[in-house]
């Protein structure tokens, strides 16, 4: 195969390789993203093994629990009016069961109370300075956008029950005992998954689960919230806004002397976020290094072949004068020293430099002399092969051209001679222009 064709093929292969490399890198990065996203989910989910309370639906009883603070003073509470018993019949015409449920809920919450106290009547919930304790809840589940949810659970009201012999329980006592119940009593639903210091340990493991492409960060704009009943509605805020942002009612704990009403804050959501810069950096590095590697590989083949082809083409395009100057220079006989040839070359070279480049007859004489005395072969092999290909009679058989076949056959026979002279080569080269 001709060197020129090899060079063309190598250029094509380089271009194809670069394009394939780009697609390959993007394919690799996409698969790596899928793998690492799945990996961080699996690693974090394994941390939360055993977090479920067993209920069908996710609630504030699911997750792991830790104390945010406890043993704080319970102060700034005030006595408030017990909500009035709902009147019957309001919704009976629509659905009697709803009407009955409203009344039953009131009875369970307030029907046995003698007094009711709000623990914190500001707009800061929870408040370590006022409400005694707070429990941190953390849960893992859902989509990547809300993969981890965390909120706090705290007391916000205390009701002291009616007692025949008098109720000597204080608000402080009720709040403190409620904390003991939630953190130690299996009936609370929290105690089995409650552990002091667990929140920090969990978050340490969560952050350690980060990988090259993904990490866990807070979602500042979650798409969901708990649609519970807000425990407080500040002035100037709509119910809809309050429902999205304020703590909501979350049941109560009670015994024969008190009922401690519990609230839960709206959840903070943490999501699996892609490190865009890391993905782009990794992709660009692969594109760069693979691009450099492929380019170096192909250029190490293309450049030497191109240089060689350029030299060959330069030789092919030489005039007789240029060829004589190149081949007859005495320096060509210095390395393999031959005194006689150096002397002869010196004479021939001097004569050559005194001859004008357009004096063809004189140049032919010098060429014949150089061939005879110096043993120089002026016939370039690459040039000869190209000329043989050009005058090959097969080129003119289809479509058939009798005259060109005849001329080509004559010229080809000359080139096939063992003792072909440079003058004959030049003659064939000139006649080949007729083909």
Does residue 354 sit in helix, strand or coil? coil
Q: Which pLDDT tens digit goes with each residue over 157-207?
A: 999 999 877 778 999 999 999 999 999 999 998 999 999 999 999 999 999
Q: What's the pLDDT score for residue 167?
A: 78
* 32/283 Cα distance (integer angstroms): 11
CB burial readout 138-171, b (16+ within 10 A) else e: bbbeeeeebbbbbbbbbbbbbbbbeeeeebebeb
Residues 6+ apart with CB under 8 A from 67: 133, 134, 135, 136, 183, 194, 196
Residues 6+ apart with CB under 8 A from 403: none
Q: What's the pLDDT score for residue 80?
A: 92
* 192/53 Cα distance (integer angstroms): 9
Structure tokens at 30: 């996409």
Are the CB atoms for 78 and 146 separated by under 8 Å? Answer: no
- Residue with tokens 């150096």, as numbered in its chain: 342
Does residue 405 sit in helix, strand or coil? helix
Are the CB atoms for 391 and 418 separated by under 8 Å? Answer: no
* Number of C-beta neighbours around residue 245 at 10 A: 13
Reading the chain (435 residues) residue by residue, the pLDDT tens digits are 788 889 999 999 999 999 999 999 999 999 999 999 999 999 999 999 999 888 888 888 899 999 999 988 888 888 999 999 887 665 545 566 777 888 888 999 999 999 999 987 555 666 767 778 999 999 998 889 999 999 999 999 999 999 877 778 999 999 999 999 999 999 998 999 999 999 999 999 999 999 999 999 999 988 888 888 998 888 888 888 888 888 999 999 999 899 999 999 999 999 999 999 999 999 999 999 999 999 999 999 999 999 988 888 887 788 888 888 988 899 988 888 888 888 888 999 899 898 999 898 898 889 889 888 888 888 888 888 888 888 898 988 988 888 888 898 988 898 888 888 888 888 888 888 888
Q: What's the pLDDT score for residue 95?
A: 62
* 111/122 Cα distance (integer angstroms): 26
- The per-type count for the chain, helices as H runs and strands as E runs, is 12, 9
* Number of C-beta neighbours around residue 20 at 10 A: 11
* 327/333 Cα distance (integer angstroms): 10
Residues 6+ apart with CB under 8 A from 368: 423
* 228/233 Cα distance (integer angstroms): 13
* 261/178 Cα distance (integer angstroms): 9
Does residue 355 sit in helix, strand or coil? coil
* 332/323 Cα distance (integer angstroms): 13
Structure tokens at 334: 């210095």
Does residue 282 sit in helix, strand or coil? helix
Q: Which of 67, 393, 110, 391 is nearest to 261 (CA)?
A: 110
Does residue 230 sit in helix, strand or coil? strand
């Amino acid at each position: 195969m001709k060197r020129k064709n090899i060079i063309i093929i190598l250029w094509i292969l380089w271009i194809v390789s670069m394009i394939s490399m780009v697609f390959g890198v993007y394919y690799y990065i996409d698969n790596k993203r899928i793998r690492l996203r799945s990996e961080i989910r699996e690693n974090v989910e394994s941390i939360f093994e055993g977090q479920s309370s067993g209920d069908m639906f996710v609630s504030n009883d699911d997750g792991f629990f830790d104390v945010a603070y406890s043993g704080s003073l319970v102060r700034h509470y005030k006595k408030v009016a017990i909500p009035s018993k709902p009147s019957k019949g309001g919704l009976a015409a629509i659905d009697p069961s709803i009407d009955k449920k409203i009344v039953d809920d009131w009875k369970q919450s307030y029907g046995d109370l003698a007094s009711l106290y709000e623990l914190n009547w500001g707009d800061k919930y929870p408040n370590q300075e006022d409400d005694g304790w707070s429990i941190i809840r953390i849960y893992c589940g859902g989509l990547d956008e809300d993969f981890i949810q965390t909120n706090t659970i705290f007391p916000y009201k205390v009701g002291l029950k009616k007692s025949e012999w008098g109720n000597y329980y204080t608000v402080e006592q009720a709040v403190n005992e409620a904390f003991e119940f939630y953190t130690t009593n299996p009936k609370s639903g929290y105690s089995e998954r409650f552990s002091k210091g667990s929140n920090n340990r969990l978050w340490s493991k969560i952050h350690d689960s980060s990988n090259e492409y993904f990490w866990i960060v807070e979602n500042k704009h979650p798409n969901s919230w708990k649609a519970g009943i807000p425990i407080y509605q500040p002035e100037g805020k709509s119910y809809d806004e309050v429902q999205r942002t304020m703590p909501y009612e979350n049941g109560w704990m009670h015994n024969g002397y008190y009922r401690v009403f519990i609230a839960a804050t709206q959840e903070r959501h943490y999501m699996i976020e892609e490190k865009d810069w890391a993905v782009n950096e990794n992709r660009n590095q692969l594109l760069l290094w693979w691009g450099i590697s492929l380019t170096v590989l192909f250029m190490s083949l293309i450049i030497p072949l191109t240089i060689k082809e350029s030299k060959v083409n330069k030789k092919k395009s030489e005039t007789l004068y240029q060829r004589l100057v190149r081949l007859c220079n005495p320096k060509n006989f210095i390395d393999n020293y031959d005194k006689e040839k150096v002397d002869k070359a010196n004479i021939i070279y001097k004569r050559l430099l005194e001859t004008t480049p357009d004096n063809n007859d004189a140049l032919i004489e010098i060429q014949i002399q150089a061939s005879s005395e110096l043993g120089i072969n002026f016939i370039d092999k690459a040039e000869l092969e190209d000329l043989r290909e050009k005058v090959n009679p097969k080129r003119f058989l289809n479509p058939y051209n009798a005259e060109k076949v005849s001329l080509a056959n004559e010229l080809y026979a000359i080139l096939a001679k063992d003792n072909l002279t440079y003058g004959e080569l030049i003659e064939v080269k000139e006649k080949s222009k007729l083909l």
